[in-house]
Copies of this chain bind each other. A is one copy, B any other.
Amino acid sequence: MADHTESLVMDEFMKSCRAHGLKVTPQRLAIYKMLQGSSEHPSADAVYRRIHEQYPSISFDTVNRTLLTFVDMGVIDTVESHQGVRRYDTDTSTHHHLHCVKCGKIVDFYDAGLNAIEIPASVSKGFTILGKRVIISGICPECTSKMQSQEGH
């Protein structure tokens, strides 16, 4: 059944490519497949390194350009951040982020209440809203405990 579900997902992806006038290539299939189920928010380089293990002939450029293409297609998003390399979000549904200011880790979280946030009409006037997200910045548990263990400075 896992295989069945997986092939359905890939079928959908191939349809989406054709709908956008894009060709279905082995590289695109491999990258898309790899992104399924990756919940960390990888950079182009991270995707490249992982996919390169099982597909050594693929180039970084193809991975990089494919990710940008996927963003255009709407199958992934770019993550907002306080700078650094571009990172991608494989979950295009509405959700929220915790940003660790120490290690840069980004954790997804889901909350129906936050999804329902209302923007005051006065601020959204004339602005076409496409998405809403709550960003919590702070220090993740790992970094917090690291800091406590070096507390005496």
Contact = CB atoms under 8 A, between A and B. Distances in A.
Interface residues of A, number: 40
Q: How many copies does the complex hold?
A: 2
Interface string A91-130: 0000000111100000101010110011110011111111
Contacts of A134: 117, 119, 132-135
Given A81-B80, A82-B80, A86-B83, A138 B131 contact: yes
A62 interface: no
A136 interface: yes
Contacts of A107: 123, 127
Nearest to A86: B83
Contacts of A101: 130
Contacts of A127: 98, 100, 107, 136, 138-141, 144
Contacts of A136: 119, 124, 127, 129, 131-132
A137 interface: yes
B126 A98 contact: no
Given A127-B144, A129-B136, A133-B135, 17 more contacts: A80-B99, A81-B83, A98-B124, A107-B127, A109-B120, A111-B123, A119-B136, A125-B141, A126-B141, A127-B138, A127-B141, A128-B144, A129-B137, A130-B137, A131-B138, A132-B135, A133-B137
